[in-house]
Structure 1
Amino acid sequence: MSEPDRPRTIADLAREVRSKNAGPFWVTMELFMRDAAGYATVADPAYLDAPVIARLYDVAADTIQIFRIPELNVVKISFPRPVVQGSLRDRDIHAGQHHVPLALFPLPVA
């Protein structure tokens, strides 16, 4: 793969990166990786862990739950919503845009 074609973000390796409500108090993000190699990259706790998610989303690391599902090449991440779904300050009632910082997260340098 030439330098310009080299994957640079999680989105480059994923079939889909999405976020959604997990009830009115939680957000869940799912990384559906194209293959086992992409899964191995993003599922590696040395690369993607609770402190990384905490920095990306300004949430406490001890509230983050990460589920790694190798049989499906999926990583699922859940954390408390910044505001309750549907409340006055909720700007994304379906949590449909929360995945963007994670999708654009840079891959580790080889």
Structure 2
Amino acid sequence: MSAEHLPTLGELALEVRSKNAGPFWVTMELFMRDAEGYALVADEEFLDEDVVARLYDLDPADILFFRIPELNVVKVSFPRPVAQGSLRDRDVHAGQHHVPLAALVPGRR
């Protein structure tokens, strides 16, 4: 018996992306399709510092949220695990950091 498919944030959003916010920070952006989708990701009961900390092995105190209802966008910023371009940096542009966030399923923490 197959389980009902529950959409991920990546499927609900127009775009989920990550990028450098300077050499020491990463910013991830959730561009939602409409106000309903925005309300889902802006809801601190679903997506908050603790959830992001768990996904990225961070201290919740280091995570910044920017909720922009006029644009249906939620931005999340946090310190990079290593400085951009340093010897241990495996993603110089921070272009893959969004993947765990995009895989989240609303309704499941």
TM value normalised by structure 2:
0.93
Distance between the aligned counterparts of 1:60 and 1:24, measured in 2? 19
What is the 5 A alignment of 1:53-92? 53-92=52-91
Matched letter for residue 47 of structure 1: F
What is the identity percentage for the equivalent residue pairs of Structure 1 and Structure 2? Answer: 69
- TM-score normalised to the size of structure 1? 0.92
Aligned-partner Cα distance in 1 for 2:30–2:7: 15
After TM superposition, the structure 1 = structure 2 runs for residues 1-110 of structure 1, keeping only pairs within 5 Å, are 7-108=6-107
**Would you identify which runs of 4 or more consecutive aligned residues in structure 1 move more than 3 Å?**
none
The answer (yes or no) to whether the contact 2:18–2:27 under 8 Å persists in 1 is: yes
- Post-superposition Cα deviations, 1:72-107, rounded to whole Å, max 9, x if no partner, equal 000000000000000000000000000000000111
**Residue pair 1:7, 1:13 contacting (<8 A) in 2 also:** no
Q: Distance in 1 between the 2:74 and 2:80 partners? A: 19
Shift of residue 7, structure 1, vs aligned partner? 4.8
Following superposition, the deviation at residue 26 of structure 1 comes to: 0.2
Distance 2:90 2:46 in 1: 29
Q: Which runs of 5+ in 1 are unaligned?
A: none
Instruction: Determine the C-alpha separation between the residues in 2 that align with 1:76 and 1:15.
Output: 14
Q: Residues of 2 paired with 1:11 and 1:64: CA distance?
A: 20
CA RMSD of aligned residues (A): 1.3
- 1-structure distance, mates of 2:11, 2:95: 19
User: Secondary structure in 2 aligned to 1:71?
Assistant: helix
| CA distance in 2: counterparts of 1:12 and 1:77, whole angstroms | 18
Unpaired segments ≥5 residues, structure 2: none
Give the total of aligned pairs. Answer: 106
Once residues 58 and 7 of structure 1 are traced to their aligned partners in structure 2, the CA distance between those partners, rounded to angstroms, is 25
Once the two structures are superposed, residues 4-61 of structure 1 have per-residue CA deviations (whole angstroms, 9 ceiling, x without a partner) of: 5x65210111000000000000000000001111111111001000000000000110
